[in-house]
């Protein structure tokens, strides 16, 4: 194994339901919008990769406020406010890291395997999760964070994984990606990488047949996955 690559939302922390969704709704409220995404509606919206893209899809379908003249600027402003709200939630420490994540990162770093994060979420938010929840010392030892607008195309497009592959000169056949969604799984596979899926709140019923393995989390209901287990997926 040359590299162990983590998605962020739903993998490091199960943030979608009680993090991003809440932050979107607070941003809508701040701007006086009569919009609130409930749990089921947000599950559908998650089929669109990227926060700005998700909001654009919603407002394209449901209409923009009458006073909005510049739709792109409107989305950017909303997303900036949403990101700040989300970061405050992360810094509060109320969202726990998913089981086994810190342990498996430490095992990989201990064997000099390159560890990184590849996400289509905002890079500031991903960095905040890595530093505040996963741990700043672990984050310092990672090879990098590839996120947000570093990639023009969002998952399931493989651009964010291809960026990491090219930047760090990785052999994709020696890389294992940890994902939680079909979009992420397809992105990893399109980049030629192996993929383990850890199920999260919104992805438990998705079609994940292309995954090399599917588990509830890294602790796997009392049978914790080891680094050797992960290495065996790329042999």
Instruction: Name the strand (E) or helix (H) holding 183.
Output: helix 182-190
Q: What would the two tokens of residue 170 be?
A: 């990785």
CB 79 within 8 A of CB 58: no
Query: How far apart, in whole angstroms, are the C-alpha atoms of residue 66 and residue 68?
Result: 6
| Catalytic-labelled residue, pool 7, 180, 212, 217 | 7
Q: How far apart are CA 82 and CA 74, in angstroms?
A: 12
**Annotated catalytic, 229?**
no
Cα–Cα dist 63/134, whole Å: 39
> Is 7 marked active-site?
yes
- Name the strands in the sheet holding 144-147, side by side, starting at the edge strand that comes first in the sequence: 144-147, 114-119, 3-6, 175-179, 194-198, 213-215
Q: Is 98 exposed, middle or buried (0-12, 13-18, 19+ CB in 10 A)?
A: buried
Out of 9, 14, 180, 217, the active site residue is 9
Distance CA 208, CA 120 (A): 19
Q: Could you list the active site residues?
A: 7, 9
């Amino acid at each position: 194994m040359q590299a162990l690559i983590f998605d962020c939302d739903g993998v490091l922390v199960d943030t979608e339901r009680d993090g991003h969704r809440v932050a979107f709704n607070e941003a809508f409220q701040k701007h006086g919008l009569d919009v609130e995404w409930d749990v089921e509606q947000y599950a559908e919206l998650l089929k669109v990769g990227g926060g700005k893209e998700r909001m654009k899809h919603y407002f394209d379908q449901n209409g923009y406020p009458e006073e909005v003249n510049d739709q792109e600027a409107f989305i950017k402003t909303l997303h900036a406010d949403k990101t700040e709200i989300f970061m405050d939630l992360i810094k509060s420490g109320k969202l726990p890291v998913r089981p086994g994540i810190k342990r498996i990162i430490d095992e990989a770093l201990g064997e000099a395997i390159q560890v990184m994060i590849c996400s289509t979420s905002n890079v500031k938010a991903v960095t905040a999760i890595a530093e505040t929840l996963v741990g700043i010392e672990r984050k310092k030892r990672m090879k990098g964070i590839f996120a947000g607008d570093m990639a023009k195309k969002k998952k399931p497009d493989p651009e964010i994984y291809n960026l990491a592959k090219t930047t760090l000169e990785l052999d994709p056949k020696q890389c294992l990606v940890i994902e939680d969604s079909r979009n992420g799984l397809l992105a990893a596979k399109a980049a030629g990488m192996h993929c383990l899926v850890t199920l999260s709140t919104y992805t438990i019923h998705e079609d994940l047949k292309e995954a090399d393995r599917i588990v509830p989390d890294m602790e796997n209901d009392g049978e914790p996955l080891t680094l050797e287990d992960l290495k065996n997926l790329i042999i």
